[in-house]
Each structure stands twice: as structure tokens, then as C-alpha cells.
């Protein structure tokens, strides 16, 4: 449920980014980080997780890995925002369609996760659908690959970090905080963005949207971290198809991006693969449950 909620949340994020299309991409990313930090610290205090946070901060390996994951998610967010505001929502969908296949590859090669024959069949069906879509999006394929690879690597790093979801997100945000403050300060100094006191800052609606960005950043990352530690990377990958499918529908039905035959066939193949993979996971969980009862 945490994984589904995370990916559904990220699926509707283009709506939020479209509302902030006039904000420079680096500044928007910086404000999201700055506004996320107080939220993380408040939750840490409310849940009395201060000792756990300090223990994670004393672990050099944990801090270095989370600094790496912070850089990966910042890069991914920046590319995603630029693609959305320049009218390439469907290209972002392709990127997140590619990501589950990379997750499966990483999971099987580096984490030794095992897939059944049915699940491998689902992977092949999804790969065929993605190949059809990629062939029709060659001009934006670099953007799609950058999105897919960066977030697949982020998921892998978070999977192997021995820290709770809340502590991990707080350390990630802290690792990005000083660069984010520098970006906000630069825009304030030059007067070229929201932080410079422009008419956008005078708009209560714009200021409110930027503040809400902290919640929109922290909450799904917390849910993602919780799910990533409890599901296989392959299962996380197939649940992730929710995000690009929502983006796919938004791009066509809300923002008027063209829907051709290749995109339609890709959509049908991918969701056939998702249904097949999910059915096999459900079947295996029931068999395991019956085995435990019998023993």
C-alpha cells in the first residue's frame, strides 16, 4: 500500500509542476528541499526518533550512501520538472516505464532476487511495449533514459542503506540543504526568481504552492523508503508502472499531447505485464501461506 500510494502521488505531480511553470527549475528544486527540512525535523521530534537519527549520522557509510541518493533524486527531479514544463510529459512517462526494467536488472544481478517464469514473461512483455514507445520517442529518448536510470539507482541505494525511512529522508534532505540554500540565495541576490521579491513572490497562491512543495517532497519519499526496505526491488519496479501510466493519461487527456498507435499498444502491453506479474506474486504468496499452515 505504501508503494502504491507513493507512485500514485508521483503520477499526479505534473499537475503541481505545471502550476509552477514560471519558476526556474533549479530554484523550484531548491525551495522543495528547504521546505522539506522543517517537516522532517518536526516528524522526527513527534515520533521521538532523535536517537535513531543521531545513530545513523554517526555511521559514515550510511551518510555517504544517503548523500549519493540525495544527488540522484535531485538530478531526477530537475530533469522531470524541465521536461514537464516544456511539454514533454509523455517523455517522462517513457522514462518511468523504463525504470522498472532497470530495477529488475539490478535486483537480479546485484541483490540475487529470483523471478518465476511467469514474472520473466511479464518482463519480456513490458520490454516489448517499452521498445515500441521508445522507437517513436527517439528525439526525447535521452531524457527518458536519464529519468529511468537515475531513479532506479536511487531505489537501489535506498534498498541497501541500513536506516529507517524517516531518518534516511531527513539525512538526504540535510545533505542537499546547503546547496539548496545557496541556490535560493543566488536567485534572491540576482532578483531573477521567486526569491528575488518578484511579482510571483507577491502572489499568495505562488508562495503557498512553494511551501506545499515541502510536503509533496517529504511524504512520498517517506512512503518510498518504507516500501523499499520491505519489498523486493523487482516488485517495487512493477508497482512503479503506476506513475508513468498516470502521467501518460495526463499528458494526453489533460495537456493534449498526441496519442498514436504505438503509445496505445505500449500502454496495453505494459498493463498486461503488470497484471501478469501481480497475479503471480499473489499466487505465490497464497502458496507460501498454505505451506506454512500445513507445516
Question: Which structural domain, as residue segments, surrounds residue 205?
Answer: 2-289
For residues 159 and 129, what is the distance between their CA atoms, to the nearest angstrom?
27
For residues 177 and 193, what is the distance between their CA atoms, to the nearest angstrom?
19
- Alpha-carbon distances, residue 165 vs 74, 101, 115, 227, 252 (angstroms): 17, 24, 26, 9, 34
Query: pLDDT tens digits, residue range 25-78?
Result: 888 889 889 988 998 899 899 888 899 999 999 999 999 999 999 999 999 888
Phi-psi region of 171 (alpha: psi -120 to 50; beta: other; left: phi over 0): alpha
Sole residue written with cell 539525512: 171
Q: What angle do CA 56, 62, 67 make, to 5 degrees?
A: 115
Computed over every residue of the chain, the mean pLDDT equals 81
Within a domain: residue 65?
Answer: yes
Q: Is the pTM of this model over 0.85?
A: no
Within a domain: residue 294?
Answer: no
Within a domain: residue 295?
Answer: no
Within a domain: residue 170?
Answer: yes
For residues 182 and 180, what is the distance between their CA atoms, to the nearest angstrom?
5
Identify whether the C-beta of residue 39 lies closer than 8 Å to the C-beta of residue 215.
Answer: yes
Q: How many domains does the chain have?
A: 1
Residues 6+ apart with CB under 8 A from 53: 44, 166, 167, 170, 171
Within a domain: residue 20?
Answer: yes
Query: pLDDT tens digits, residue range 100-138?
Result: 778 778 888 887 888 888 888 988 988 888 787 777 666
Amino acid at each position: 500500500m505504501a508503494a502504491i500510494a507513493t507512485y500514485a502521488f508521483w503520477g499526479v505531480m505534473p499537475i503541481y509542476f505545471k502550476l509552477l511553470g514560471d519558476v526556474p527549475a533549479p530554484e523550484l528544486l531548491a525551495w522543495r528541499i528547504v521546505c522539506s527540512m522543517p517537516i522532517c525535523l518536526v516528524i522526527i521530534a513527534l515520533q521521538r526518533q532523535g536517537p535513531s537519527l543521531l545513530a545513523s549520522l554517526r555511521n559514515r557509510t550510511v551518510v555517504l550512501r544517503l548523500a549519493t541518493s540525495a544527488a540522484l533524486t535531485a538530478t531526477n527531479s530537475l530533469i522531470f520538472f524541465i521536461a514537464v514544463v516544456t511539454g514533454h510529459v509523455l517523455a517522462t512517462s517513457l522514462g518511468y516505464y523504463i525504470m522498472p526494467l532497470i530495477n529488475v536488472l539490478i535486483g537480479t544481478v546485484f541483490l540475487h532476487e529470483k523471478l518465476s517464469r511467469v514474472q520473466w514473461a511479464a518482463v519480456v512483455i513490458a520490454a516489448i511495449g517499452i521498445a515500441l514507445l521508445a522507437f517513436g520517442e527517439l528525439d526525447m529518448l535521452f531524457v527518458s533514459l536519464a529519468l529511468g536510470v537515475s531513479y532506479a539507482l536511487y531505489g537501489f541505494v535506498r534498498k541497501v542503506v541500513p536506516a529507517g525511512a524517516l531518518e534516511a529522508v531527513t539525512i538526504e534532505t540535510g545533505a542537499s540543504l546547503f546547496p539548496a540554500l545557496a541556490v535560493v540565495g543566488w536567485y534572491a541576490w540576482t532578483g531573477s526568481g521567486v526569491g528575488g521579491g518578484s511579482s510571483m513572490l507577491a502572489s499568495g497562491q505562488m508562495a503557498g504552492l512553494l511551501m506545499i512543495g515541502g510536503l509533496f517532497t517529504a511524504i512520498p519519499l517517506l512512503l518510498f523508503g518504507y516500501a523499499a526496505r520491505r519489498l523486493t526491488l523487482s516488485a517495487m519496479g512493477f508497482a512503479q508502472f503506476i506513475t508513468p501510466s498516470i502521467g501518460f493519461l495526463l499528458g494526453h487527456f489533460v495537456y493534449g499531447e498526441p496519442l498514436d498507435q504505438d503509445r496505445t499498444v505500449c500502454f496495453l502491453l505494459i498493463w498486461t505485464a503488470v497484471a501478469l506479474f501481480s497475479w503471480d506474486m499473489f499466487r505465490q504468496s497464497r502458496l507460501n501461506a498454505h505451506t506454512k499452515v500445513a507445516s
